[in-house]
Structure 1
Amino acid sequence: MDDVHSVSLLRDGVILFGFGLVFVLLFRRLGLGATLGYLVAGAVVGPQVLGLVGDAESKIGIAELGITLLLFIVGLELNPSRLWRMKQEIFGLGLMQVVACGLAISGVIFATTAFSIPAAFALGLPLALSSTAQVLPMLQSSGRLRTPFGERAFSILLFQDLSIVPLITIVAAMSRNPADASAPPGWLLGINTVLAVVGLIIAGRFLLRPFFRLIGALGEREMFVFAGLFTVIAAAALMEWLGLSPALGAFIAGVMLADSPYRHEIEADVEPFRSILLGLFFLAVGMMLDLSAIAERPFFVVLMALALVATKTAVIFAIGLVFKMRWRGALALGLLLSQGGEFGFVLLAQAQNGLLVSAEATSLFGAIITLSMATTPFLMSATRRFREEPLAKHQERDGPTADGANALIVGYGRFGQTVGQMLLAQDIPVTLIDTDIEMIDIAGEFGAKVYYGDGTRLDLLRQAGAAEAELILFCIDGDQISRDILEAVHEAFPKAAIYVRAFDRRSLVKLKQGPVKFVVREVLESAVKMARLAMEELGIERADIDRAEDMYRSKDRERLRIQIEAGDIQAARAQTAAQVPWGTDT
């Protein structure tokens, strides 16, 4: 029996991931996004169409770990100080969205159907929640998660997750099921939530960090993966045991590790599991789509899905204007959060258990949520021209032209300005490229001609004269330059020597012996300079200071060589610990 079960799991896995791979590749090629591809793939292999894979309920139970891991990774991006800075948007914008959308959608359901007021609320409240699993990856892939727009969207999604407990309490209070009378009261759930959050914060401060410090000293990457997954699952399990949102527990655990030195390593280790499980989640949602219910009442499902999207878009658009967003940004926010979400399925099940709605209504509104999720990629693609702020004539900037410059500098921030000014001081012709309009204007006031454009695009570099240039210097902030970009630039412009600004050794290891002449770690030289000044202040002889610097640089080069060869920042950790007990990331 066990062998048969194992074969069945393997067979289901092959079918699910095979169909998912094909449909996601197809939908990405069509510009429709991976989420819709997973949903369609799940519907095709599910019992409603080909019937190749069954038992979607058990699979979605496993796949919900993907949402948990997603919230953990998001938490890693938000240290407590940044989260505190966002408190007004979380509890202002988020609260207003959940309340206004819940009331508006409940009103639409009550006005257009025969549902009672309690049933309309039990259906409308779940539909007020949006899909964290769909929206956050869209923000991450577009690079907008850490922008003001992305922070507003995330604030709403985070409050929606926080609101699961009170929403469950409201649905339970309206329950007609006598068995629910024995459930814990809402005020007790609220106290449990506060206590659990405080407990996780204390555990993160006094247990998690020493725990990861111990694992880091061992130098075993596998243990980092294991420890990262254990942290997520343990925090989520604690919340679930208390009857709260598991994703909320994972998020708090992530926040507690956000400003630790192990954040990048944990994120890199957990990310692959998040991607796989999130894909499986959407496959399972597609399998659960009740196509027969849609076939029986197709107009109701389609029209209600459209009403849901239109209502949420209009309400969030109005809230955005109240919070002094420009109308284009408010419209984009409304469209991005217009779909129903995965936590809606949880609340619908709660409403069904409370005898507020029938199983048929649960299936219908589950299909409405799924259909609304499928509309988001289309809406965001179709409205891009209306949502993006057009450049006014006084904001238009010249693109680069081939003017015979010896060097191209991509990125004219603080780092690029120093490089460019030193080259110009030696009368070396330089072409400057950046995308920051405000910075371009300021540079122009000081007599510097900076061209507007994305300097990682080959066509723009060619237009700027990269084919004739001797140097291409990437001076961009962060980790925007990948090895793939460098290889493409080198292949297109083999005559130019490529120099790259890297923030730290993690950035450098990611480039992994790419086709560059030299990579400058910006945090290294400034740190060495401060160490020299500190030793001078203590009266140490110049020769001893030089010797200490030479020793450090020699050992650092050796560690870096091992890490680059291994392609792993954890490599040579024993040498790092022997030299500097607390490690280094410079």
Structure 2
Amino acid sequence: MAAPHVPPFFVETIMFLSAAVVAVPLAKRIGLGSVVGYLVAGVIIGPFGLKFFEEPQQILTFAELGVVLLLFVIGLELEPARLWKMKRDIFGLGSAQVIITGVVLCAIFWLLGQPTNVALVAGFGLALSSTAFAIQILQERGQLSAPYGQRAFGILLFQDMSIVPLLSMVSLLTPKMGQQSYTDVAIEVAMLVGAVALVVIVGRFLLSPIFSFLASSRAREVMLAAALLVALGSAGLMQLVGLSMALGAFLSGVMLAESSFRHTLEADIEPFRSLLMGLFFIAVGMALQLDIIAANWLIVAVGVLALMILKGSIIWGLARAFGSSNSDALRIAVTLPQGGEFAFVLFAAASGSAILPSDTNNILTAIVILSMLLTPLAGLGLDFLARRLKKAGVPAEQIEGFGTAHPSVLIVGFGRFGMMVSQMLTSEGISITALDNRPDRINYARKLGYSIYYGDATRLDVLKAAGGDTATLIALCIENDQIMRQAVKQIRAEFPNAAIYCRATDRAHALDLHRLGVDFQIRETFESSLVFGRAALSFLGLPQDRISEIEADVRARDEERLQLQLEGGTYAGAEMLHQRTPREEQERSEAEARPRESNHP
């Protein structure tokens, strides 16, 4: 009997998924983080473990798409306003860390006898930390929005941006450059500049109209396909002219950072990025050559310890110089002492360009991987040290950052109602993020100067990308009752710390929102009806104090009727609509008083 046909890569996929499902939860359970789980899973199923895979380099080449998508997402986050708030941490602290750490490590490699080009690549490659690793650690600790977490994020942000010039440095150090004629060099430079310019121009002027057209079709899968096409297409264009795929994805992300589709694109890309980054770390673990480590164990061990101690010390000193407390500086230092995923990209590019010898590349890769594995262990002792510092009275200085300067509000639904709410908040300088799923509304609001993004109220990934998990208040100003009901349930479950304020379309909707436990609701026509009634009574000649009494009475009876309806149904409290008004009660009191007055002598 013939063996059943198995689709290509089916067995490999099963093995990858099985290894991740087993190793990652175990690693997180013991406090080492998901990235360590992926790395260990790779070691186990790789050529030096159970030998399910003999050529991890092929898988690593495909898995680098995870790094490409990571850079695309990073580019989406780099809108100018956010960069400006963090400019001191990013461009001051971040640049100082990369330059000083890179120069020091480069000098050490040069003093150890390495050629200048090798020393430059190795030194600056090891100066970069792991964005995926460090962000995961900060999120699992719940410290990403803490002062030290924000500063660590600023350093990582600059490191991610610095990969672009570092990759260009590898191109300049490539031996073949010296063998080319000036004409060849000029043509190559022109192609590079032309490719970058094409990505910038298309991203700046064409992508938003294209996504606006696609959004009008309400086909989510088409938007997802377009997002992947933009990221991978720009990456492919850069590779075609000899630059890094990551550079193209980064540029296209930056060009879309101010687009109204930014948060939806980020949410659409995120599952693919997460899976491919997991695959990337598994492939990295598979690439860890245990025989190289065994043959050079002393060099690798000294290299790992030297890297983590030296890099951590430099980061600690720079954080202190930029105003961090001793406790926060130590936390940053033990969060970022490892090598990063971009070191693999840089080393691979240098190895492919005949700059970095194969043995040196393998040893440096082993140092980076082991430094990742040891970083969580370095953090385990930090809590004890932090408690000692706290007992010693070390002050924790407050550092203003992008997440804590002001309370933030997420407004979902940006029609006339949402726009007026936004105007009230922004008039006081309160930070808002607005979402809507109608491209025409988005275009209109942007022409009026509002920052508004495309997004669906029922998609938690979009709400989270827009800042729902850190928002102080989420205002639901959408018109569809069913969508709002679904959104309220999801937000209450996933973002319990955010207050939920809702626009109710009518009384029945207001009752439903009461039952869902929202923090505040208002019927969209209630206040305008009261204002209308006040104007009518004023025209009819009633004094303002009497009008205010009537309004207060109507409000009180309306609220009492709402409570009765919550208990007894839609028609409960109907008599409240026909109770005597303050005027009738006053007339009755006057009528009762008149007979008493006539009996007086």
TM (norm. structure 1) is 0.64
SS at match of 1:502: strand
- Residue 127 of structure 2 corresponds to which residue in structure 1? 128
Q: Distance in 1 between matches of 2:318 and 2:113?
A: 29
Q: Which moved more, 1:160-169 or 1:18-27?
A: 160-169
Q: 1:338 to 1:192 in 2, by over 3 A?
A: farther
Q: Say how many residue pairs are matched.
A: 443
Q: Distance in 2 between matches of 1:532 and 1:229?
A: 51
- Which residue among 499, 519, 522 is the counterpart of 1:501? 499
Alignment of 1:51-450 (within 5 A): 51-111=51-111, 113-145=112-144, 148-171=147-170, 173-174=172-173, 177-178=175-176, 181-182=179-180, 199-353=198-352, 355-387=354-386, 390=390
1:256 shift after superposition = 3.9
The one-character-per-residue Cα deviations of 1:321-369 (angstroms, maximum 9, x if unpaired) are 2222222222222222211112222332344455554322211111111
1:504 shift after superposition = 7.2
Q: 1:250 to 1:349 in 2, by over 3 A?
A: closer
1:197 shift after superposition = 5.9
1:147 shift after superposition = 5.3
Q: Is the 8 A contact 2:334 2:378 kept in 1?
A: yes
Q: Is the 8 A contact 2:489 2:516 kept in 1?
A: no
Cα RMSD for the two superposed structures: 4.5
Q: Distance in 2 between matches of 1:526 and 1:191?
A: 58
The one-character-per-residue Cα deviations of 1:162-211 (angstroms, maximum 9, x if unpaired) are 33344345445555x45763399999999877776665454334222211
Q: Which moved more, 1:120-129 or 1:269-278?
A: 120-129
Q: Distance in 2 between matches of 1:139 and 1:190?
A: 40
1:224 shift after superposition = 1.8
Q: 1:178 to 1:228 in 2, by over 3 A?
A: closer
- Residue 562 of structure 1 corresponds to which residue in structure 2? none
- Residue 551 of structure 2 corresponds to which residue in structure 1? none
1:47 shift after superposition = 0.6
Q: Is the 8 A contact 1:161 1:247 kept in 2?
A: no
Q: Is the 8 A contact 1:487 1:514 kept in 2?
A: no
1:282 shift after superposition = 0.2
Which residue identity lines up with residue 22 of structure 2 in the other structure?
A: V
Tell me whether 1:18 sits opposite 2:18 in the alignment.
Answer: yes
Q: 1:88 to 1:352 in 2, by over 3 A?
A: same
SS at match of 1:219: coil
- Residue 42 of structure 2 corresponds to which residue in structure 1? 42
Q: Distance in 1 between matches of 2:394 and 2:287?
A: 53
Which residue identity lines up with residue 129 of structure 1 in the other structure?
A: L
Q: Distance in 2 between matches of 1:139 and 1:5?
A: 45
- Residue 433 of structure 2 corresponds to which residue in structure 1? none
Structure 1 gaps of 5+ residues are 397-412, 416-474, 490-497, 506-512, 542-586
TM (norm. structure 2) is 0.63
1:130 shift after superposition = 1.5
Q: Distance in 2 between matches of 1:504 and 1:145?
A: 29
The one-character-per-residue Cα deviations of 1:387-434 (angstroms, maximum 9, x if unpaired) are 5884999999xxxxxxxxxxxxxxxx899xxxxxxxxxxxxxxxxxxx
Q: 1:341 to 1:529 in 2, by over 3 A?
A: farther
Q: Distance in 2 between matches of 1:344 and 1:19?
A: 24
Q: Is the 8 A contact 2:33 2:136 kept in 1?
A: no
Q: 1:501 to 1:155 in 2, by over 3 A?
A: closer
Q: 1:125 to 1:266 in 2, by over 3 A?
A: closer
Q: Distance in 1 between matches of 2:320 and 2:11?
A: 51
1:89 shift after superposition = 3.4
Q: 1:145 to 1:525 in 2, by over 3 A?
A: farther
Q: Is the 8 A contact 1:139 1:145 kept in 2?
A: yes
Q: Distance in 1 between matches of 2:126 and 2:525?
A: 52
Q: 1:347 to 1:486 in 2, by over 3 A?
A: closer
Q: Distance in 2 between matches of 1:533 and 1:46?
A: 72
Q: Is the 8 A contact 1:41 1:286 kept in 2?
A: yes
Which residue identity lines up with residue 372 of structure 1 in the other structure?
A: S
1:78 shift after superposition = 3.9
Q: Which moved more, 1:124-133 or 1:346-355?
A: 346-355
1:293 shift after superposition = 0.4
1:74 shift after superposition = 3.4
Q: 1:383 to 1:533 in 2, by over 3 A?
A: farther
Structure 2 gaps of 5+ residues are 397-406, 410-470, 476-486, 504-511, 540-601
Q: Distance in 1 between matches of 2:178 and 2:173?
A: 10
- Residue 583 of structure 1 corresponds to which residue in structure 2? none
Q: Is the 8 A contact 1:161 1:248 kept in 2?
A: no
1:269 shift after superposition = 2.0
- Which protein has the larger Cα radius of gyration, Structure 1 or Structure 2? 2
- Residue 570 of structure 1 corresponds to which residue in structure 2? none
Q: Which moved more, 1:61-70 or 1:243-252?
A: 243-252
Which residue identity lines up with residue 367 of structure 2 in the other structure?
A: I
Q: Distance in 2 between matches of 1:358 and 1:488?
A: 49
Q: Distance in 1 between matches of 2:129 and 2:385?
A: 22
Q: 1:499 to 1:516 in 2, by over 3 A?
A: farther
Q: 1:61 to 1:224 in 2, by over 3 A?
A: same
Q: Distance in 2 between matches of 1:83 and 1:62?
A: 31
Which residue identity lines up with residue 122 of structure 1 in the other structure?
A: V
Which residue identity lines up with residue 212 of structure 1 in the other structure?
A: F
Q: Is the 8 A contact 1:499 1:519 kept in 2?
A: no
1:6 shift after superposition = 6.2
Q: Distance in 1 between matches of 2:392 and 2:515?
A: 38
Q: Distance in 2 between matches of 1:30 and 1:21?
A: 15
SS at match of 1:115: coil
Q: Percent identity?
A: 36
The one-character-per-residue Cα deviations of 1:204-243 (angstroms, maximum 9, x if unpaired) are 3422221121111111111121122122212323333344
Which residue identity lines up with residue 127 of structure 1 in the other structure?
A: L
Which residue identity lines up with residue 125 of structure 1 in the other structure?
A: F
Q: 1:358 to 1:271 in 2, by over 3 A?
A: closer
SS at match of 2:518: strand
Which residue identity lines up with residue 106 of structure 1 in the other structure?
A: C
SS at match of 1:11: helix
- Residue 440 of structure 1 corresponds to which residue in structure 2? none
Which residue identity lines up with residue 339 of structure 2 in the other structure?
A: G
Q: Distance in 1 between matches of 2:23 and 2:338?
A: 21
Q: Is the 8 A contact 1:189 1:244 kept in 2?
A: no
Q: 1:304 to 1:190 in 2, by over 3 A?
A: farther
Which residue identity lines up with residue 11 of structure 1 in the other structure?
A: V
Q: Is the 8 A contact 1:201 1:253 kept in 2?
A: yes
